[in-house]
Structure 1
Amino acid sequence: MKNCICNTCGVQFESSINAPEKCTICTEERQYVSLNGQTWTTLEEMIQSGKYKNTIESEEQGLYSISTSPSFAIGQTAYIVQGKSFNMLWDCITYLDSETINKIKGIGGIDAIALSHPHYYSSQVEWAEAFDARIYIHEDDKQWVTRPSDKIIFWSGESLELAKEMILHRIGGHFKGATVLEWKNGNAKQEVLLTGDIVRVVADRRWVSFMYSYPNFIPLPAATVQGIASRLNEVKFNRIYDAFHRIISDQAGDRVQQSAKRYVDALNGVLFNT
């Protein structure tokens, strides 16, 4: 019995004798199956290869980023957000070894894991078991869980306060249950929003974007983006960290509103004429 991991998306599946026939994450139109076909690995194989290493870096007081080198699967960054007595892992990466576990325990461990959307579920159950942490996933994305666990809590509604300084907000878009994290104590209490790629910081760090599918370039409807902007206009934040270690350091709330308007204008043919 083994817990197979899809090489393309990095999501781990429940234990089985044989590898699954397909990855339910990658065969859906927001993702893709590799041109080389469906291939699998396991966490044990990744560790035994000696190829991978996680880097944990301090981003600002109370915030650490975690990334895997060389990049694996989607290649996202996870973050540890530290509160007064509550530490959260925001989003997840696949690779986890004893060195990573010991380093994280050395900075206070993890009390909970919260996910922005299914593409970053990764080996979340391995992380939860290593740190005895609960996993928080919006119930709208329940169907995408590939490895069930009693560690998982499916929350409902539009917001969930996990600690006084950490609030989850379901804003939809990329997935129905797409979620962002408001960190009130971040950025010297000017507040931080951690967005996964529900809100993606683009190459020009003054702007963000929103997509139904990033690899397949499928945009979101104008009404959906307007809804996201409206929800985020109710949340105070001055800085954004996204899933690929892109940061808007200042005036991020205004940047999101300007970006949403530009996006909608582009869809409606107002922004340009080509």
Structure 2
Amino acid sequence: MSFTLEPYDAATSEVWIVCRTCGTQFPTSDRQVVTTCHICDDPRQFVPPSGQSFTTHKEVAATHRNEFIPYGPDPRLTSIVTRPKFGIGQRAILLRTPGGNILWDCVTLLDEATVARISSLGGLAAIVISHPHYYSTHVQWARAFSCPVYVSSEDASWATMPSAHRRLLAGTETEVVPGSGVRAVKLGGHFPGSLVALFEGRLLIADTIVTTPAGLGRWEVDGNGVARARPPGLNSFTFQWSIPNMIPLGVDELARMWGVLRGYEFRSTHGAFLGFDVEDEGVKGRVLESMRIQTRFMGWSDHPLMGMQV
């Protein structure tokens, strides 16, 4: 290890306060010290109509559990989802790689059953967090599994506590664990340092690229079982500065993101939530097509992005 390991103190961290809306943990049990969540106060997030409220990890663990769901087409990917839904409701994805297990994104709940389950599978070689909305309890995860946790250098200021386990990604592409085949790629957009991860043709996109209902829809057959083509003009993805507040990214930012992504090949995408998986050899083209649709409807039909090719 190139850093000093920090002890995992579950008894202390279980009483630290956690934002109910986004699941971010703050290193204090004193609710007079932290009265609001800086992540939810940001224009990309929100405070619900009921107002800002906090809980603790201990309270969450008493009423919730983590479910491990292998991905059918590729059992090397396992979704970890908290039931019932807590916070934003995102999944973490456990990647079984030749270089060790890597956790993509994070959920707040880290109970004894979760630690035991992952430990039985070989523990974690590293954690990679796509963006600050999913920082949750990532320091506790890194301490529990004695591994580094990677975040973009541009977004590190959103973290709620310092940690020697946190490593900052400065470059556009990083193989976080040598020999794993997992590359963290910085696309930006949603946050300046928003990441995707590429693992043997599978692109883990979180909210950096948002999967739409039309992207998940199946049009192979009609209601009578007759084969048909996917209707033209449908998007598969959207690109948002704020997902819950529906604020789209600008066209120049889309073009910059495509300038990075066009250099990579992938045959599937795996979004932030369970079931947000698209298996399609042509999915890269669908990303570009979706960018063009968003560009056109924002009034930029003559933008250079409209002429770009896969």
What's the TM-score once normalised by structure 2's chain length?
0.81
Shift of 1:205: 2.0
Which of 65, 82, 85 is matched with 1:53 structurally? Answer: 65
Contact 1:90/1:114 (<8 A) preserved: yes
| 1:210 alignment partner AA | F
Match in the other structure for 1:209: 238
Contact 2:100/2:122 (<8 A) preserved: no
| 1:242 alignment partner AA | G
Shift of 1:17: 3.0
> How large is the Cα RMSD of the aligned pairs?
1.6
Which of 187, 201, 209 is matched with 1:199 structurally? Answer: 209
- Distance (whole Å) between structure 2 residues aligned to residue 15 and residue 76 of structure 1: 24
Shift of 1:52: 0.6
* Corresponding residue SS for 1:129: helix
Which of 166, 174, 188 is matched with 1:152 structurally? Answer: 166
| 1:233 alignment partner AA | R
Which of 123, 139, 143 is matched with 1:125 structurally? Answer: 139
- Distance (whole Å) between structure 2 residues aligned to residue 176 and residue 236 of structure 1: 23
| 2:116 alignment partner AA | N
- Distance (whole Å) between structure 1 residues aligned to residue 59 and residue 139 of structure 2: 17
What stretches of structure 2 of length at least 5 have no aligned partner? Answer: 1-11, 217-235, 303-310
| 1:198 alignment partner AA | T
- Deviation track 1:181-220 (CA, whole Å, cap 9, x = no partner) reads 0112xxxxxx100011111111012611110001111111
User: Does residue 192 of structure 2 align to residue 173 of structure 1?
Assistant: no
- Deviation track 1:72-108 (CA, whole Å, cap 9, x = no partner) reads 0100011011111321100001111111111111222
- Distance (whole Å) between structure 1 residues aligned to residue 182 and residue 174 of structure 2: 9
Shift of 1:270: 4.4
What's the TM-score once normalised by structure 1's chain length?
0.92
- Distance (whole Å) between structure 2 residues aligned to residue 83 and residue 154 of structure 1: 22
What stretches of structure 1 of length at least 5 have no aligned partner? Answer: 185-190
* Corresponding residue SS for 1:75: coil
User: Does residue 86 of structure 2 align to residue 72 of structure 1?
Assistant: yes
- Deviation track 1:118-172 (CA, whole Å, cap 9, x = no partner) reads 0000111111111111110110001101122111011202111123411111111
Match in the other structure for 1:248: 278
- Distance (whole Å) between structure 2 residues aligned to residue 105 and residue 34 of structure 1: 36
* Corresponding residue SS for 2:39: coil
> Higher mean Cα deviation, 80-89 or 174-183?
80-89
Which of 93, 117, 123 is matched with 1:103 structurally? Answer: 117
Q: Which has the larger radius of gyration?
A: 2
How many residue pairs get aligned? The number is 263
